[in-house]
């Protein structure tokens, strides 16, 4: 992130009530006109009935300021306003979280033999939150694998066949990756053709399938190679990240921001819909 050192300059400021009103956004670089402090917005919080914005300078030091007048954006005075209201992604009446038409009075079906497998608990919870109503109508159960290193053995034990299909959603399924080679080997195994479908998204973890704008950020933080990805993400957000409980609580915050399919990336939406279509086809 680059910071501009505007330095001393003469600014003919308009009257306060004529200043442009700009909603604060994470990553925005601002200058506090009174102190000269320049930094990027890292968070906005409400304390004592006031909105405060934290600005982090190029040295990693942070100071908080009250929203309102007294800020410069690209050298121009502005009135800094609270964050713009988030787009309403509430599920419309008569629709499920996946966007499909809700069937009135429809009871959940007895679970069929076919299954959706996902890599972990968080993947399963996200799929359940968005597609759970649809899956219960179809009688399809989502189960976490806790990793795919032994996917071939798990598929062989499952025994896929007509009426007993298997859809697998894999994280970070990119050409020539470890995940890609595992998937290729499974699909070459006996009984897989026509009865097993393995799809994937390009993200390191299913967390990244949540659209950044939903979380009030421009993009997901970049975690340095060699650092645990989830720990690095929570650290970048300024959230607790030292224990497994911290990781779980962090995920619940992220999951809580998801209200419907609109909050997810298209690359995940398409793959899940593809699996459901495969498992429910005659």
Report pLDDT digits (tens) over 51-107: 888 888 877 788 999 999 999 988 889 999 887 665 555 555 555 655 554 554 545
- pLDDT for res 54: 87
CATH number of 16-81: 2.30.30
Angle between helix 151-158 and helix 178-187 axes, rounded to 10 deg: 30
Report whether 234 contacts 244 (CB < 8 A). no
Contact status, residue 151 vs residue 182, Cβ threshold 8 Å: yes
The pLDDT-based confidence of 3 (bands split at 50, 70, 90) is very low
What is the arithmetic mean of pLDDT over 184-209?
92
- Average pLDDT score over residue span 127-143: 88
Q: 40, 33, 124, 41: which is closest to 75 by C-alpha?
A: 33
Give percent above pLDDT 70 in the chain. Answer: 83
| Residues carrying CATH 3.40.50, the chain | 115-210+258-280
Distance CA 280, CA 273 (A): 11
Domain(s) of CATH 2.30.30: residues in the chain: 16-81
Q: What is the spatial distance between Cα 230 and Cα 253, in angstroms, rounded to a whole number?
A: 13
Percent of the chain with pLDDT over 90: 41
From residue 142, alpha-carbon distances to 20, 135, 153, 171, 249 in Å are 50, 8, 18, 15, 22
Chain segment 241-281, per-residue pLDDT in tens = 999 999 999 999 999 999 888 899 988 988 999 999 999 88
The confidence score (pLDDT) of residue 52 equals 85
Q: Say whether domain 115-210+258-280 belongs to CATH 3.40.50.
A: yes
């Amino acid at each position: 992130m680059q910071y501009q050192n505007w330095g001393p300059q003469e600014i003919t400021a308009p009257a306060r009530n004529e200043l442009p009103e700009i909603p604060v956004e994470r990553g925005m670089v601002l200058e506090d006109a009174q102190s000269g402090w320049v930094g990027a917005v890292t968070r906005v919080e409400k304390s004592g009935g006031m909105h405060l914005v934290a600005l982090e300078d190029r040295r990693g030091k942070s100071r908080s300021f009250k929203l309102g007048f007294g800020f410069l954006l690209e050298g121009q005075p502005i009135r800094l306003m609270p964050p713009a209201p988030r787009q309403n992604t509430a599920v419309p009446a008569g629709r499920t979280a996946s966007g499909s038409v809700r069937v009135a009075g429809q009871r959940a079906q007895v679970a069929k033999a076919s299954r959706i497998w996902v890599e972990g608990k968080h993947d399963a919870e996200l799929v359940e939150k968005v597609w759970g109503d649809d899956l219960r109508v179809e009688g399809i159960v989502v189960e976490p694998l806790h990793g795919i290193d032994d996917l071939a053995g798990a598929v062989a034990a499952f025994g896929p066949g007509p009426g007993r299909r298997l859809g697998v959603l894999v994280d970070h399924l990119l050409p020539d990756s470890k995940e890609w080679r595992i998937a290729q080997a499974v699909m070459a195994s006996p009984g897989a053709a026509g009865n097993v479908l393995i799809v994937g998204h390009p993200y390191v973890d299913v967390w990244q399938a949540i659209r950044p704008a939903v979380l009030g950020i421009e993009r997901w933080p970049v975690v340095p190679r060699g650092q645990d990805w989830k720990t690095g993400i929570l650290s970048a957000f300024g959230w607790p990240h030292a224990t497994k409980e911290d990781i779980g609580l962090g995920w619940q915050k992220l999951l809580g921001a998801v209200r419907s399919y609109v909050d997810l990336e298209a690359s995940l939406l398409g793959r899940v819909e593809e699996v459901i279509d495969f498992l429910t086809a005659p």
